[in-house]
Homo-oligomer: A and B are copies of this chain.
Amino acid sequence: MRKMILPDIDDVALSQVLYALSDPVRLDVVRTLARDGEASCSVLDGGRPKSSMSHHFRVLRESGLVRTRHEGPSHMNELRRDDLDRRFPGLLDAVLAAGDAGPARRDG
């Protein structure tokens, strides 16, 4: 396995973070991490194939949203809250405050 990516938060572009967060699967991962503190990849996969999730975790890492550390055979993920709050103040809070990702109304 190649070295884990952990970009300097100052090298991350806003567009990059917004893009990473714009995918419902990844947004759901971020929400869960915000609520639960940290979790392994398998806990967060929602039944999706490992290869699909591995892709999403890579996007989350490259965009500075998530840090992954190796803990035995599993990988524990956590939000880079401090880094993000410093680099993009209020952004993560606003995203997490938005509740679920779907429309606020169920019907018209």
Give the residues in chain B near A16, CB-CB below 8 Å: 22
A18:B14 contact, CB within 8 angstroms: no
In the bound complex, residues from chain B placing their C-beta under 8 Å from that of A105 are 8, 10-11
Q: What range describes how many residues of A lie at the interface?
A: 20 to 34
Nearest B residue (CB) for A9: B104
Q: Does A103 contact B (CB under 8 A)?
A: yes
A contact residues vs B (CB 8 Å cutoff)? 8, 10-16, 18-19, 21-24, 27, 87-91, 93-95, 97-98, 101-105, 108
Provide the residues of chain B in CB contact with A24, threshold 8 Å.
15
- The complex places the Cα of A108 from the Cα of B7 at a distance, in Å, of 12
**The residue from B10, B18, B103 contacting A12, defined by CB atoms under 8 A apart:** B103
The list of the 7 closest CB pairs from A to B, nearest first, reads A90-B94, A19-B22, A18-B22, A91-B94, A10-B104, A10-B105, A11-B103
